[in-house]
A = this chain, B = another copy of it.
Amino acid sequence: MPRKRATIREVAQATGLSPAAVSYALRGLQVSEETMERVRAAAAELGYEADPIARALASGRTGMIGLLCGSLEDLWQQSLAVGISRGLREKDRYALILDAFGDPARERALAQQLRDQRVDGLIVQAIDPAAAFWPELCESLPVVAIGDSIAGTAGEVVFDNRRGVTLALEHLRDLGHRRVAVLTSTQASTPDRPADVHVMAEAERLGLDIEVATAPHGLAGATAAAHELLSGRRPSAVFCFADSIAYGVYAAAQELGLSIPGDVSVMGYDDHPMSGLLTPGLTTVDWDIDGIVRAAVRLISAAADGGARRRRVMQKPTMRERGSVARLT
């Protein structure tokens, strides 16, 4: 049986101080240098560690940040989650990572559970950034949005999707593509998400013939959607709204015996580490995941520590050209 942990009262007893003094001393507050030293020594001696639960109850802060991901089937979001988790650890916080499975209703439920769980803050890559419950939620705890803007957040790392879409579609046009399919992930409740709007506008401007299709989340879902897309009247290029989706196109092309970029060109949108390893390498739009991670961690830390006016970081994309887009004659 593991012997009971030392409590703050025992440390108080050992030093002849009051528990309050010990509490202050261990946090470096309001006590003389000498007392502090004495308390530290006694604490070390007794192997005392403050109980995070009791501390959370008394102070109202848990040291945890919720991380709500749209769909962790997406490898890029996995990378993002891992990165943020690490970043928070460096700030002595824990990440509570949750996955909405691409389902807006679930996203809502999880967000509320996270609030009930008393996280100090919430980082969200929202499926439905326009949903009505967000502003309300933002009132009760600091929220940082990643990707799309959400009303009422304490901070945002938004992607310049307009620019990203422009980059991608101009690249395709420059290489001679006209009939382009856009493959995006299923977003049941948000048929008109901002990114799609940009696609339409840009397509218009560039004189492209666009067809939009959606893919269920996960590699299998993307593959199925791509399979169907490529079996019909085949576009000359497919622009995927995530590298993960593009992987499904690779898989489908393989199944159908189509060559990339010979029979069909493919563009991604993320730049996941695996994209460079495919044959051919996936041409994609790079969003500098490290920069996003750093910004998100910085923003949520600031907000959770009480400081901070509303900050907004705009992330700029760059083209990562590899071999998956053919030049049409």
Residues of A within 8 A of B (CB): 1-2, 49, 51-54, 56-57, 62, 72, 75, 78-79, 82, 85-86, 89, 94-99, 116-118, 139-140, 219, 247, 250-251, 254, 273-274, 276-279
Nearest Cβ on chain B to A99's Cβ, whole angstroms: 6
Nearest Cβ on chain B to A76's Cβ, whole angstroms: 11
Tell whether, in the assembled complex, residue A2 and residue B139 are in contact, meaning their CB atoms are under 8 Å apart: yes
**Given A51-B118, A94-B117, 6 more contacts at CB 8 Å?**
A1-B139, A49-B116, A52-B117, A78-B78, A78-B82, A279-B279
Contacts of A276 in B (CB 8 A): 251
Given known A53-B57, A57-B54, A251-B276, contact A99–B118 (CB-CB < 8 A): no
| Complex-state Cα separation, A51 to B116, whole angstroms | 7
Tell whether, in the assembled complex, residue B219 and residue A273 are in contact, meaning their CB atoms are under 8 Å apart: yes
| Complex-state Cα separation, A254 to B117, whole angstroms | 48
Nearest Cβ on chain B to A54's Cβ, whole angstroms: 6
Contacts of A118 in B (CB 8 A): 51-53
Number of copies: 2
Contacts of A116 in B (CB 8 A): 49, 51-52
| Complex-state Cα separation, A279 to B250, whole angstroms | 11
Q: Which residue from chain B places its CB closest to the CB of A72 in the assembled complex?
A: B82
Contacts of A98 in B (CB 8 A): 85, 89, 94
Contacts of A251 in B (CB 8 A): 276-277
A277: which of B85, B99, B247 is its contact (CB, 8 Å)? B247
Contacts of A78 in B (CB 8 A): 75, 78-79, 82
| Complex-state Cα separation, A117 to B79, whole angstroms | 25
Q: Which residue from chain B places its CB closest to the CB of A137 in the assembled complex?
A: B2
Given known A52-B118, A53-B118, A274-B274, contact A96–B94 (CB-CB < 8 A): yes
Contacts of A279 in B (CB 8 A): 278-279
Q: Provide 5 A-B residue pairs closer than 8 Å at the C-beta atoms, listed in order of the A residue.
A: A1-B139, A89-B99, A250-B277, A251-B276, A251-B277
Tell whether, in the assembled complex, residue B57 and residue A86 are in contact, meaning their CB atoms are under 8 Å apart: no
Tell whether, in the assembled complex, residue B56 and residue A85 are in contact, meaning their CB atoms are under 8 Å apart: no
Contacts of A94 in B (CB 8 A): 96, 98, 117
Contacts of A56 in B (CB 8 A): 53
Contacts of A57 in B (CB 8 A): 51, 53-54, 57
Tell whether, in the assembled complex, residue B49 and residue A53 are in contact, meaning their CB atoms are under 8 Å apart: no
A278: which of B62, B140, B278 is its contact (CB, 8 Å)? B278
Q: Which residue from chain B places its CB closest to the CB of A220 in the assembled complex?
A: B273
Tell whether, in the assembled complex, residue A85 and residue B99 are in contact, meaning their CB atoms are under 8 Å apart: yes
Tell whether, in the assembled complex, residue B95 and residue A97 are in contact, meaning their CB atoms are under 8 Å apart: yes
Contacts of A99 in B (CB 8 A): 82, 85-86, 89
Nearest Cβ on chain B to A252's Cβ, whole angstroms: 11
| Complex-state Cα separation, A72 to B52, whole angstroms | 26
| Complex-state Cα separation, A277 to B254, whole angstroms | 9
Nearest Cβ on chain B to A294's Cβ, whole angstroms: 17
Nearest Cβ on chain B to A85's Cβ, whole angstroms: 6
